[in-house]
Amino acid sequence: MSGVNKNIVILISGSGSNMAAIAEAARTRRWEARLGARVAAVISNKAAAAGLAWAREQGIATAALDHTAFDNREAFDAALMAEIDRHSPALVVLAGFMRILTPGFVQHYEGRMINIHPSLLPAFPGLRTHQRAIEMGCRVAGASVHRVTSELDHGEILEQAVVPVLPGDTAETLAARVLTQEHVIYPRAIEKLLSA
């Protein structure tokens, strides 16, 4: 991924804790000076997403596109693509963006869109990952950073982190433990991609 203007566009739906971890890593690890990379924009499908306010406070461009205002998924994805492409992204980063993307959208960003998933893929794609891991009696759980493909949670794995499943864990306590590791591995995976 060469060049000096590697714009990163981050998509969120909520608090944006992974987005904040990425933006902080970009600042403290001097991605712009070292790698020619910066977080150019944060976009959400929810105008009230707390992460948008945080990003604005950091001086990052933000936009909100309400998916319920569109007739169908394709129309929303087309508008979202237009908003993302205004920033000429080298990398599109899904950080708690709770929308299933259309094949056309995924194809448009093929090779430059990544996601973080709260399980050790290929185990437990989809939702309720922590509860499912507990119910299956897993001794470990974790998170995976992966390339986005048309098959949900099945792209090339770029980074993983493992955490123990402790006796008495609930989905909430396990999720909190996994999230601390997500904040470590997501910026690391992005920095590796930017350095390649």
Is residue 188 a part of any domain in this protein?
A: yes
Q: Is 117 a catalytic residue?
A: yes
pLDDT at 2: 46
- Residue of 117, 130, 146, 183 marked active site: 117
**Is the dihedral angle over the CA atoms 46, 49, 51, 57 positive or is it negative?**
positive
The pLDDT profile of the chain, 196 residues, written as one tens digit per residue, is 444 689 999 999 999 999 999 999 999 999 999 999 999 999 999 999 999 999 999 999 999 999 999 999 999 999 999 999 999 999 999 999 999 899 999 999 999 999 999 999 999 999 999 999 999 999 999 999 999 998 889 999 999 999 999 999 999 999 999 999 999 999 999 999 999 8
Instruction: Count structural domains, the chain.
Output: 1
- Which pTM was predicted? 0.95
Flag whether 168 is in a domain: yes
| Cβ(149)–Cβ(106) below 8 Å | yes
Q: Do 125 and 103 form a contact (C-beta atoms < 8 A)?
A: no
Q: How far is CA 29 from each of CA 25, 170, 188, rounded to the nearest angstrom?
A: 5, 34, 10
| Cβ-based burial of 189 (10 A; exposed 0-12, middle 13-18, buried ≥19) | buried
Q: Is residue 23 domain-resident?
A: yes
pLDDT of residue 4: 61
pLDDT for the residue numbered 100: 87
Whichever domain contains 55, its CATH number is: 3.40.50.170
Q: How is 105-128 classified by DSSP, letter by letter?
A: HHHHTTTSEEEEESS-TTSS-SS-
Q: What is the CA radius of gyration of the chain?
A: 16
Report DSSP state, residue 68.
G
- The pLDDT, as a whole number, for residue 90 is 96
Residue 100 lies inside a defined structural domain of this protein? yes
On whether residue 1 sits in a domain, the answer given is no
Phi, psi (deg, nearest 5) at residue 93: -115, 120
Would you say residue 55 lies in a domain? yes
Question: Could you tell me whether strands 89-94 and 6-12 are parallel, antiparallel, or unpaired per DSSP bridges?
Answer: parallel
Asked if 111 and 103 touch (Cβ cutoff 8 Å), the reply is no
Nearest partner of 155 among 196, 191, 107, judged by Cα: 107
CA distances from 161 to 51, 168, 181 (A): 24, 21, 6
Give the domain extent around 162.
6-195
Whether 58 is in a domain gets the answer yes
